[in-house]
Copies of this chain bind each other. A is one copy, B any other.
């Protein structure tokens, strides 16, 4: 055996999976060790304590989002398109293995120093979203809104994905990301001009995503009619679709 770094990462991933499944406090280090078919002291050989384990999981998750911001900074498109690209990555990160840890890691469970570190990273993400919102309002690509509240709403909706998303479900995380961007863009109010600013969005970053699955863009959802009104069969279709809850 060799390559300590790889094994260390395996420990982190095992921890992430366990936390994801049973929660931080309901997961003992013995559990994590057992999942790796080793014993507890072996785990301690790679990480210094349980806290650090959680912290590393958080880092792995949030780093995906930070990368999205960096990537998007280069793009020469409207702020809304850049925001959408970030939100898509955000959604996928939250739905990933480390999603739970990223979302649920509470300052409460951590030592002051780590807590501060995490707070700083969370704030960085939040401020990044707010900034894109403001830029979008300035370049006219985003409807005027309170950037702070809107950032909270967006982050909340996306973070919550970690609560209900499970692998092997009806939708992939990419499809969910797409659906959410659509919801965020349109809002609940009917839009009479169904083709306002027709394309221009939801297409820009297709080269930056790992171009998953097939359906992308505005037609992911087969059961949405184009007219203002939905046909009655819609509710039946919705009923057919799983039973997961969202709160």
Contacts and interface: CB of A to CB of B under 8 A. Distances in A.
Given A144-B225, A160-B159, A221-B146, A247 B185 contact: no
Interface stretch (A6-14, A18-26, A45-53, A209-217): A18-26
A30 interface: no
Interface in A49-104: 80, 83, 103
Copies per complex? 2
A149 B180 contact: yes
- What range describes how many residues of A lie at the interface? 35 or more
A133 B184 CA distance: 15
Contact of A145 (B25, B80, B103, B183): B183
Contacts of A130: 238
Given A149-B179, A160-B152, A187-B186, A125 B247 contact: yes
A103 B192 CA distance: 36
